[in-house]
Structure formats: structure tokens, C-alpha cells
A and B are shown apart, each in its own frame.
Chain A
């Protein structure tokens, strides 16, 4: 017994099965985590190797190159890049997407074992470091403080960081901008000299005094007692009384040669929020944890955390990634609901019957909700991709139900009882319903096979739509006939209420007029079939010529209300100067841009224990800003416009050497933010590549649409070096390392011991007083002591010279490289590339220097070629499905001509709306392959049916067109209107799918209009040719027969 006849006979079972599906679906929906994108596997591994004391060039030669040579042979490697700077080599391996990162890590580890013997003896074992998106902070909080500033670190660490770290899923919480407590012992070198004391002696004395030593146990009578000396300082002030020496019979206390300062770290990052000093708390998640859930929990405990803080500390959000996720998801949910509404309206207008409308629209929630089960079962989340899949599918899941319902209705109108009509009506169309679903699956299933960055996005889309289509077909063949058998009645005209008639009559008249008008036009086209074909082909070819006016880019820029700004002063600028400039910028922007909700900036060198800050560029001359704007709906200016105004504004500050304004928070992240083009200059010689980079920068500056041009190689860093004379050193009984260590202890300070209080440890640092380490003379006058206790001035054994330290050496694919990157602003990326390329080719450059392009452009090229291959595969699959359905080679060919018009339509609408061709509009085009052929299938199917019933070719075509116009227009309209909310959406994140909606609407509208005229015309041409051939054959056969008879 078939699915539909058993469904009609067992309505209770069918209803309950679908109720169960809906309940499980809703249950899954409730459990589904929310995220912005589907899980993205990491594809990057870093190998870090330290080699203390080696310069950038030494590191490059001795560490980076051997590592690169070996690691280059790891399979699936896409690019190998490296940075060699003083003391450290970082090799970054970028793999092709879609491979198991753990297996790749093991391969890398094996290769590292092979190379370890080739590395210098003193270099450390290379460390493997997997980079993942989890390192991107999910929440950044600011804490503004006044009186509590000195103790802020401890307060935040205990009251905020610890409770936050206990939240499920939080990976690490770091605090920046709140300096830690440190106890300084500032020594006066002049007094020390007088008492014949050295920094080392004092440091070791402090260490020796500040100790608790257990003395073992001893017995008194019948008891055993522990013995111990509790010598640790209970107050830093106690240190003042330490005896550090004897001079002229008197005792020298520490307070005689030093001041003890219980304060904060000398060099720390400072963080300001909206101009007020405070700290920044950065929360990173554990890998695989859900950002929205974590952020919700943080939001929940925030009020109680705030309550425990001293009253002058104010907590506020700088960045909450979940805000963006929430807003984006909400605007998508809105889109899905609008799409639903539009589809229901279309169905009602065309069918004019509420019962039929209810039956058809029921398939929408069933298929949509069932897809949540898939998401839950496979551990996916509600994200941009899964939700936009729903929006795409809404218009298509009703198609099968419409076909079934229409045929059942025609059976009822012929006189069948609804029960029988439902079974037999469904039976007749079941095959074609399944075939049309197969054509769509032929389009969407291959999407699940895409690899690479685009694969991450489209795999889920492919699965979701495929599953929804299968479920909707299942529903159309089971619950739809069941409901038809129960709900549909033979409708008599006189049964309709007067109000309904009044409302529906004009619609009916308009639809009739449309049918007749189309039949007339089709008749004209079929009469002038060669002319029609030529015009249609002309339109197609013409539109392809317009293609070159459509710009292309990788991903549309989305407005997530976040800006990341990096401002660089000349290298070596003091933090105080950077701070005052940052304040100026802050004050002027707060006035100029009322859209700024929070402006946070950080200056100064990050301490090494701040994981987040040390991953970013930092230094005393760098100002990094994080801005949060008001929600996109609440402001007039878009984020790109604001970014552009900021870039303009920054030009008024000549102090800045480099300014970077990054939309979306960071540059070059593939899915949000503005696209960037990276020109890579390969060449060994520093000077030559530097000058090529400068020239390239000037070329780009002259091109409209390039903003924020940045050269990756930083300036040579000025520094003072002490050149010791080894002979002189040995004369005084010193060696280089004792001398250098002594230098370090005096300037950087040496950690003598730790001061313990309330379970926390604070460094006790011994160093020269600030006023004695401010000039080169101070350095030259440093006294170095030898083992015999004799002192010698540094200037007698060495000289202080100013030198420039070579910058970080960057390499890519085993060659030295400089990257000149530019943000694409207000112009399609492809236009900039075509304008810049001839200039770059003409550019003067030394032999051996080559220029390549990477960044968004490279990803775009990769993805576009992937998608083009995919399109070809899909076209072949769709052809196979159709050829099987019609058992013909020609009909599918005729039907597929509608794909040409879909592409024409896309080109036209992209031109008209000024949209660029990007990944999203490409994917729209690919989806269209399946959607537009459905119209052709419906038409050709009915025309062949008419011919099989004995009509002439022309009548079959015109009559077929006339009677199939409504179903074609109806299913097309449901799909188009389902996309309209996507194409017009203005919510957060809508920039992302707007191009896709636009492409589908343009392509489908244009193709449907032309398909309705061109496909029947082509059919006529082929059918007449077929008949002519048959006649010829017959004539020949007859002639043969006649000859034989003669």
C-alpha cells in the first residue's frame, strides 16, 4: 500500500506522527545554542621557538629556515609564513580547510622531531600552538575607578576575574590596564658606592632576610614540638631596618642607601574608557563553549559583582559579542516570519480558499521545525546560515503540497469523493513531485561537499535545505492528501458568502486576464518562433557583455557596531605622549561622533602574563582603541561611513606614523569587516623590498577606494647597546655575562624576593632609583664588581652606542616578504585590482622582486573557482535528473536554457542595485539553477501531456502554457516573496544575505518571464523538426517500398 493511501486511511497515525515530529523539533529548538556562524574548524598551527640572544637575522637563518624547510613537506599545507624577530621565531602553518587539525598537529610534531638536531644547541624546543577562533575575546568589560585605582588589580582579580572564571565555559579572564602591586627598593648608587655595596649584595641580603625556615622537630618530655623561624616581612616597611653592611664601625641599614616604595609596576598598560582611567577585563571562552550562553551568565552575575565592589568602581561593557549575535539572529527570525506571511498571502490569493491555504501552509512549520531536529542531533547551532536556510526554503517547501492539492481539487471537481480524490490525485502526481524535489536536491546536496572557507558556510545550508525539501515532499505525500480528504469539499459558486465574492472577484478577474494575455503572447511567440529565439538569445548575450560592469568582492561588509583602531607613533615614543594624544583623539571623537557608545583605549607595553594583550601588537608607541557604536538601527550613518570619517580625521594628526581603522574589530577576518587586498612583495634584500613597498604604497594612495594603506615591515628600532671590551673585562676579573647581568639588575631591576600578604605574592624588586637611570652617563657610571669586590665603572670596560635593530623578518612560503595591505572602501575590490595591476606591472623594481596578491582577493579567487566548479557539477546533476524524468536528451536541454536567463537576470539586478558579485550572490545564482528549471519542467511536462493526448504541437503549447501559468507564477511568487525580506532587510547583519536575496529575486523574475515565452518556443522548434525528420524517414521508407514493388 502506498504512503498516501495508508495516510488517508489512518489519519490519527499521520497526525500523531507529525505532532511528534513537531514536539521533538520544538524541544530541539529550545536546546539549540545560538551562535553567529557554524563551528569553524581551525586550520592554523603556530610553531614558536625561542633562541635567547639571537638577532632577527640569526633567528631567520638558524631557526626559521630549517624549520620551514622541514615543515613545508607536511601534507595539506596551504601557506607557510614566519616571523623572525629578536629571540623568537614564529612559524605559522596554514592548512587547507576540512582536515582534522589533531592529525595535522601530529604530523607537524613528527617533522619537528626530525629537525630538532639541526637547530642551534641553545635554542629551546619548538612549541606547537594551535590557533583557534576561541582566542577572540567574547566579552570585554571596563572597570573605571578613582580612589581604588592603586588596589584595582587585586580588587578586580578577586571580585571579578575569579567569579567570572568559575562561569561554565569561560576559558581565561585577563585584566589589563590595572597595574599590579610591586615593592620597589630604589637604590642610590652614590651612597652605595660610599658604603661599598652592590645591587647584587643587597638583593641577596633581602632574599636571605625574607624567609621562613622550619627548624625540624624536637621532644620535650612526652611531647614533640615543631621548631621554626618566621622571618618573612609582615610589612614592607620592615625592610628598611635590614642591616646591609658595616662601615666605619657603624651599622648600615637598608634605609641608608635606598628608599622603599610600596606601589605599582613601573611599566604597564593603561586602559581608559570614555576618557576615564580604569582597567579592562577580557573574557575568552573554552574551545567549543557557547558564547551567547556564557555572555548571558555573565550578564546575570554582573549586578551582584558590581554590588561587591567599592562604590567608586564602575563596571561597563566594551564589547559583548553576544549583542551582535542576538541582534543578527533576531533580525533573521523576523525575516523568516515575514517570508512566512508573504507565502501565505500568495497561496491564498491564487487558490482563493482558506481550507486549501491552511493545508498548504501547514507544510511550512512541519518542514522547518523538523530541520531543528537535524541541527540538534548533529550538534549545530542556530546561526546565520541555518536561519537563512529556513528563509530560503520557506518559498520552496510549499511547492509540492501545492501540486498535490491542485490535482486532488481537480479530482473532486470531476466528482470524486474527497477520500478517493486524495488517494488517486496524489498517486498521479507523486512521481513528478519526487522528480522536482530531486532537481532541488541535485542543487543543494552538492553544497554539502564544498570544502574551504565557503564550505563552512554552505555545508550547513546544503544539509538544511536538502532535509527540509525531503521532509516537505514526505509531508506533501502524506499529511497533505490526508488533510485534503478531510477538509476539502466540492465548492459550489452559490456557497460563497457575498463579502468573499466581493473581495475575491477582482482577483479572479485579474488572474483570468493574466492567463488570457499570456496565451495571446505565447501564440505570437510560437508563430514568430525564430524571431523570438533570436531576441531571447540576444538578450542573454547582451547581458553577458554587461557582466564586466559588475564589480566583485569576497564578502559583503557587515555592520556589527564595532571598530578596532590602532594608532602608531614613531617607534620608541614614551607612553605619556601616546596617552595624551589618545586623550585628544578621544575628546574630539566623542564630540564629533555621537554614535560612539563606548570608546576604550589602551596605551603602553603589555606585561607578558596578559595572554590577550601579548598576542596583539603592543608597545609604548602604540595606541589601540576599541569602539562600540550604537545599534545600526538607531543611527543614520553606517559603520563604513563612520570609519571613513575617522580615517579622514586622523589625517589631521601628523604625529601618527600609521593609522588603522578596522571595521568589525579586526582586519582581514574573512567574514565581517571590510575586504582587504594584500600585495605581497617577495625579495631578499631589505632596502630593495622596502623601496618597492614604498612605491607600491604610493601607487595605491593614488587609487580611489584604497584606504588605510599599511606596510607590514616595521621601522628599524633604535636602541642603545653596550659593547664590552673582553680584554679589559678580563683584566678586571670580569666576564661578559656577569657584566651584562649587573647592567640588567641596575636598570630593569632584579627580583630579590617575594612579599606575601593575604595569600598573594608580590615581587620585591631592587634597582637604581629612577633619577639615576635617565641618561647615558648614568649607564656609563654603573659600577661593576668583580669576585674580589673591586669596582670598575662600565665606561672603562665598554662603550654605550646607539644602534638600529633590524625589524621583524617576515617570510611567506619560504621567501622574505613585505605585505602592503589596503582596505577596500566604497568601491568593488575587482575594480581596484584592475586599476592597480598595470601600474604595479610598470613599477620600477629591482630584479628578483616579485609582487603577489593575497588577502580577501585570494580567498575570493579560491572560493569563486570552487563555486564555478560546483555550478558545473550541479548543472550536470540537474540534467541527469530531468533526462531521467522525461526519458529524453532534448527536453532537459530546452528547459536548461532558463538557467541562462537566470544569469542574465542576476547581472541586470546587480547592475541596477549597484550590488557587487560576491560569495553570497554567487550562492544565490547556484540555488537558482534548481529553482528556475522547475518552471520549465512544469511547462514542458504539461505540453508533452497535451501532445500525448493528441493535440497539435501549437495547440499543445498554447493550451499548456495557458493552464500552467498560474502554478508557475504561484510557485515563483512564493519563492520570490520568501526572499524579499532577505533582500530588503535592514537589521543587524542583513548586509550579509542581502546580495543573495537580491540575486535570487532578480534572476528568478527575469528568468521566469523569459522562460514562459522562450522555453515553449524552443519546444515548438524542436518538435516541428522532430516531425519533419519522422516524415522524411517515412517518405524514404515509402519510396523504398514503392521501388521494391516496382
Chain B
């Protein structure tokens, strides 16, 4: 089991939930309105007057063999719409209940 942390533009949210479902990842935890900016490029998502857009963030727990499919799909989305911005980070899960 791996945990994938995905930070992305709000606009992706609904598509992402359906896409993950079709990729076999049912479970997730999401925060629909979060703030942040990328380390190198991309517009900040602050929800302010200057930077009005907001981001969402999501944790999804994926079986090890699924991780690449999911990451590939996410990467593909990011390439299609580079201006929106999406990043995903995979972390190991040590224990769970």
C-alpha cells in the first residue's frame, strides 16, 4: 500500500474522483479548498484578489501495483492542461488499521 498525495487546481476535483474510481481506487480523503504554490513554476493558488484561484488536495491509498497507472494518468492530465497545475507525491504506509 502506498499513499498518494495529490495537490491540484480546484477545477480537476470532480473529474479526478471519477477517474480514480475507474482506475480502481475507491478510497480517498480530500480537502476541496486549500492554498499553495508550486516550487518552481505555476500560478499561486491563494484565493485572494491577486491570485483568486484555489487548489484542492487529496490523499488516496493505492495498492503498490496500481501506483504507476494512477501516476501515469495524473501526469497525462497535467500535460494536457499545464496551466491548471497538478502534482502528486507517493509515500509509503507503514501501518494501518
Interface of A with B (CB < 8 Å)? 411, 414-417, 419-421, 424, 427-428, 944-945, 948-949
Give chain B nearest CB distance to A449 CB in angstroms: 33
A414 nearest CB neighbor, chain B only: B83
Within 8 A of A (CB), among B46-94: 48-54, 80-84
Contact A421 B11 (CB under 8 A): yes
Contact A417 B11 (CB under 8 A): yes
Residues in A neighbouring B15, C-beta threshold 8 A:
417
Contact A415 B13 (CB under 8 A): no
Q: Report, nearest first, the 7 A-B pairs whose CB atoms are least far apart.
A: A415-B81, A948-B50, A416-B11, A420-B11, A428-B52, A414-B83, A415-B84
Within 8 A of A (CB), among B13-66: 13-15, 48-54
Residues in A neighbouring B11, C-beta threshold 8 A:
411, 415-417, 420-421, 424
Contact B10 A420 (CB under 8 A): yes
**20 A-B pairs, CB-CB below 8 angstroms?**
A411-B11, A414-B81, A415-B11, A415-B81, A415-B82, A415-B83, A416-B9, A419-B14, A420-B13, A420-B14, A421-B11, A427-B52, A428-B52, A428-B53, A944-B49, A945-B50, A948-B48, A948-B50, A949-B50, A949-B51
Give chain B nearest CB distance to A750 CB in angstroms: 93
B48 nearest CB neighbor, chain A only: A948
Q: A411 vs B81: C-alpha distance in the bound complex, in angstroms?
A: 11
Give chain A nearest CB distance to B33 CB in angstroms: 10
Residue of A416, A419, A944, A948 ringed by the most chain B CB atoms within 10 A: A416
Contact A416 B84 (CB under 8 A): yes
Contact B81 A945 (CB under 8 A): no
Q: A419 vs B15: C-alpha distance in the bound complex, in angstroms?
A: 11
Q: A999 vs B33: C-alpha distance in the bound complex, in angstroms?
A: 48
A428 nearest CB neighbor, chain B only: B52
Q: A415 vs B50: C-alpha distance in the bound complex, in angstroms?
A: 20
Give chain B nearest CB distance to A945 CB in angstroms: 5
Contact B83 A948 (CB under 8 A): no
B81 nearest CB neighbor, chain A only: A415
Give chain A nearest CB distance to B93 CB in angstroms: 30
Residue of B11, B13, B53 ringed by the most chain A CB atoms within 10 A: B11
Q: A417 vs B51: C-alpha distance in the bound complex, in angstroms?
A: 20
Q: A944 vs B48: C-alpha distance in the bound complex, in angstroms?
A: 12
Give chain A nearest CB distance to B41 CB in angstroms: 14
Residues in A neighbouring B81, C-beta threshold 8 A:
414-416
Give chain A nearest CB distance to B81 CB in angstroms: 3
Q: A415 vs B53: C-alpha distance in the bound complex, in angstroms?
A: 13
Q: A411 vs B11: C-alpha distance in the bound complex, in angstroms?
A: 9
A415 nearest CB neighbor, chain B only: B81
Give chain B nearest CB distance to A944 CB in angstroms: 7
Residues in B neighbouring A427, C-beta threshold 8 A:
52
Contact of A945 among B10, B49, B80, B83 (CB under 8 A): B49
Residues in B neighbouring A419, C-beta threshold 8 A:
14
Q: A9 vs B11: C-alpha distance in the bound complex, in angstroms?
A: 15
Residues in B neighbouring A414, C-beta threshold 8 A:
81, 83-84
Residues in B neighbouring A415, C-beta threshold 8 A:
11, 80-84
Give chain B nearest CB distance to A883 CB in angstroms: 16
Q: A945 vs B11: C-alpha distance in the bound complex, in angstroms?
A: 22
Q: A944 vs B54: C-alpha distance in the bound complex, in angstroms?
A: 20
Q: A198 vs B84: C-alpha distance in the bound complex, in angstroms?
A: 115
Give chain A nearest CB distance to B35 CB in angstroms: 14
Q: A597 vs B68: C-alpha distance in the bound complex, in angstroms?
A: 91
Q: A972 vs B80: C-alpha distance in the bound complex, in angstroms?
A: 37
Q: A421 vs B9: C-alpha distance in the bound complex, in angstroms?
A: 11
Contact A948 B49 (CB under 8 A): yes
Q: A419 vs B48: C-alpha distance in the bound complex, in angstroms?
A: 22
B14 nearest CB neighbor, chain A only: A420
Residues in A neighbouring B80, C-beta threshold 8 A:
415
A948 nearest CB neighbor, chain B only: B50
Q: A636 vs B44: C-alpha distance in the bound complex, in angstroms?
A: 67
Given A415-B81, A945-B49, A949-B50, output 19 extra A-B contacts at Cβ < 8 Å.
A411-B11, A414-B81, A414-B83, A415-B11, A415-B82, A415-B84, A416-B9, A416-B81, A416-B84, A419-B14, A420-B10, A420-B14, A424-B10, A424-B11, A424-B53, A424-B54, A945-B50, A948-B49, A948-B50
A946 nearest CB neighbor, chain B only: B50
Q: A630 vs B48: C-alpha distance in the bound complex, in angstroms?
A: 64
Give chain B nearest CB distance to A413 CB in angstroms: 8
Residue of B48, B49, B54, B80 ringed by the most chain A CB atoms within 10 A: B49
Residues in A neighbouring B14, C-beta threshold 8 A:
419-420
Residues in B neighbouring A420, C-beta threshold 8 A:
10-14
Residues in A neighbouring B83, C-beta threshold 8 A:
414-415
Residues in B neighbouring A948, C-beta threshold 8 A:
48-51
Q: A193 vs B3: C-alpha distance in the bound complex, in angstroms?
A: 137
A947 nearest CB neighbor, chain B only: B50
Residues in B neighbouring A424, C-beta threshold 8 A:
10-11, 53-54
Give chain A nearest CB distance to B31 CB in angstroms: 16
Q: A414 vs B43: C-alpha distance in the bound complex, in angstroms?
A: 11
B10 nearest CB neighbor, chain A only: A424
Q: A414 vs B81: C-alpha distance in the bound complex, in angstroms?
A: 7
Give chain A nearest CB distance to B11 CB in angstroms: 4
Q: A948 vs B44: C-alpha distance in the bound complex, in angstroms?
A: 12
Residues in A neighbouring B51, C-beta threshold 8 A:
948-949
Q: A420 vs B81: C-alpha distance in the bound complex, in angstroms?
A: 14
Residues in B neighbouring A944, C-beta threshold 8 A:
49
Q: A945 vs B50: C-alpha distance in the bound complex, in angstroms?
A: 5
Q: A367 vs B14: C-alpha distance in the bound complex, in angstroms?
A: 33
Q: A421 vs B83: C-alpha distance in the bound complex, in angstroms?
A: 13
Q: A428 vs B52: C-alpha distance in the bound complex, in angstroms?
A: 6
A945 nearest CB neighbor, chain B only: B50
Give chain B nearest CB distance to A1 CB in angstroms: 12
Q: A411 vs B80: C-alpha distance in the bound complex, in angstroms?
A: 14
Give chain A nearest CB distance to B56 CB in angstroms: 11
Q: A69 vs B36: C-alpha distance in the bound complex, in angstroms?
A: 80
Give chain B nearest CB distance to A533 CB in angstroms: 27
Q: A948 vs B51: C-alpha distance in the bound complex, in angstroms?
A: 9
A412 nearest CB neighbor, chain B only: B11
Residues in A neighbouring B48, C-beta threshold 8 A:
948
Q: A421 vs B12: C-alpha distance in the bound complex, in angstroms?
A: 10
Give chain B nearest CB distance to A409 CB in angstroms: 13
Give chain B nearest CB distance to A310 CB in angstroms: 82
Residues in A neighbouring B54, C-beta threshold 8 A:
424
Give chain B nearest CB distance to A596 CB in angstroms: 67
Residues in B neighbouring A428, C-beta threshold 8 A:
52-53
Q: A415 vs B81: C-alpha distance in the bound complex, in angstroms?
A: 5
Residues in B neighbouring A949, C-beta threshold 8 A:
50-51
Residue of A415, A424, A428 ringed by the most chain B CB atoms within 10 A: A415
Residues in A neighbouring B10, C-beta threshold 8 A:
420, 424
Give chain B nearest CB distance to A33 CB in angstroms: 48
Q: A421 vs B11: C-alpha distance in the bound complex, in angstroms?
A: 7
B77 nearest CB neighbor, chain A only: A415
Residues in A neighbouring B12, C-beta threshold 8 A:
420
Q: A414 vs B12: C-alpha distance in the bound complex, in angstroms?
A: 12
B15 nearest CB neighbor, chain A only: A417
Give chain A nearest CB distance to B75 CB in angstroms: 15
Q: A568 vs B15: C-alpha distance in the bound complex, in angstroms?
A: 88
Q: A415 vs B13: C-alpha distance in the bound complex, in angstroms?
A: 13
Residues in B neighbouring A417, C-beta threshold 8 A:
11, 15
Give chain B nearest CB distance to A485 CB in angstroms: 12
Residues in B neighbouring A945, C-beta threshold 8 A:
49-50
Q: A416 vs B14: C-alpha distance in the bound complex, in angstroms?
A: 11
B78 nearest CB neighbor, chain A only: A415
Q: A416 vs B80: C-alpha distance in the bound complex, in angstroms?
A: 11
Give chain B nearest CB distance to A408 CB in angstroms: 11
B54 nearest CB neighbor, chain A only: A424
Q: A533 vs B80: C-alpha distance in the bound complex, in angstroms?
A: 48
Q: A424 vs B51: C-alpha distance in the bound complex, in angstroms?
A: 12
Give chain A nearest CB distance to B1 CB in angstroms: 30
A949 nearest CB neighbor, chain B only: B50
Residues in B neighbouring A411, C-beta threshold 8 A:
11
Q: A295 vs B52: C-alpha distance in the bound complex, in angstroms?
A: 60
Give chain B nearest CB distance to A6 CB in angstroms: 15
Give chain A nearest CB distance to B55 CB in angstroms: 11
Give chain B nearest CB distance to A1040 CB in angstroms: 32
